[in-house]
Amino acid sequence: MKSFRYILFLFSFLWVGFLHIRAQEMVVTYAIDATERIEIVKNELRSPDMDPMTKRIATLSLQAQEEAQKSSYTLEINENLSYFYWNEVLFSEANSVHVNRLAKDFSNKGAFYQNTKTKQVLERLAGAEDTVITYSFDFFDWQLTTETENILGYTCCKATTTYTEPHPAGGKDFVRHITVWFAPDIPLSFGPQGYGGLPGLILKKCQSGTCFIADKIEEKKVKIALPKEETITREAYFNQFKKANPFGF
């Protein structure tokens, strides 16, 4: 249960937001900032005890993450629908093939569609474009806070969520810790990478030292076509891997 103080705090932001409702059709561009994650890898590389193979892998990872910061992402919004995708970029030819392939893996996380009428998210997997996963906005159990941050002139409220996700090869489950900042002045329940369901557009999303940060908002008409492929629920998708890898191999 949220405290009465917090409810009053959030209501004040929502009231201001509803007085400044923006157009229901817009395009938001996000930059990626992996500075924190890159510093972690750099610190690991300073360890004198790192074996040569691990150091080689860490060096490739560092180069790829630095290259991936050239990427940008687009969130198209059309009334009740949104579409989030990576803007494919040509990485430097000076890099090795391995670095650029890894940079693409870091950058391209698939495409996400959100539908506020059905309260559903559709996720088209990167590298498996024929697979479309579906799950509910309610999947994310948001914990709202009183912290704020100014992004593009909007006062954004901080929210966090934690959830587990099965390992794709049947290993130990991943624990995802997500932090976002949403703008009540833009009362649209969308955000990057399928995150949403909050009383405001998500302008910043952070996970594991990497952040998507909105750097441009344009009011413009867009057309969004939802995937026509057959969908599979998040639970059913991960259960397939569990059955294929019952011992976590």
3-class DSSP assignment, residue 246: coil
Task: Please tell me the least confidently modeled range out of 71-85, 112-126, 132-146, 235-249.
Answer: 235-249
Q: What is the per-residue pLDDT across 17-34, written as a single tens digit (0 to 9) for each?
A: 443 444 589 999 999 999
Greatest alpha-carbon span in the chain: 59
User: Across the strands, what pairs with 134?
Assistant: 122, 233
Q: What single-letter amino acid sits at 205?
A: K
Are 238 and 158 contacting, i.e. CB atoms less than 8 angstroms apart?
A: no
Q: Give the separation between CA 213 and CA 181, rounded to whole angstroms.
A: 9
Q: Give the separation between CA 193 and CA 82, rounded to whole angstroms.
A: 11
Q: Which residue is listed with tokens 């005890």?
A: 49
Please, what are the domains in the chain? 4-244 (2.40.360)
Q: How confident is the model at residue 234 (pLDDT cuts 50, 70, 90)?
A: confident
Phi, psi of 82 (to 5 degrees): -140, 160
What is the bridge-based pairing of β-strands 81-87 and 72-78? antiparallel
Q: Which two tokens mark 94?
A: 């000076």
Q: How confident is the model at residue 139 (pLDDT cuts 50, 70, 90)?
A: confident
Q: Which two tokens mark 59?
A: 């060096």
Looking at residue 248, the DSSP 8-state letter turns out to be: -
Q: Which residue is listed with tokens 């649209």?
A: 188
The four Cα atoms 65, 132, 188, 37 give a dihedral, to 10 degrees, of -20
The pTM score is: 0.85
| H/E run at residue 214 | strand 210-218
pLDDT surpasses 50 at 177: yes
Task: Please tell me the least confidently modeled range out of 148-162, 173-187, 235-249.
Answer: 235-249
Q: Give the separation between CA 168 and CA 217, rounded to whole angstroms.
A: 35
Percentage of the chain beyond pLDDT 70 is: 86
Task: Please tell me the least confidently modeled range out of 38-52, 90-104, 155-169, 222-236.
Answer: 155-169
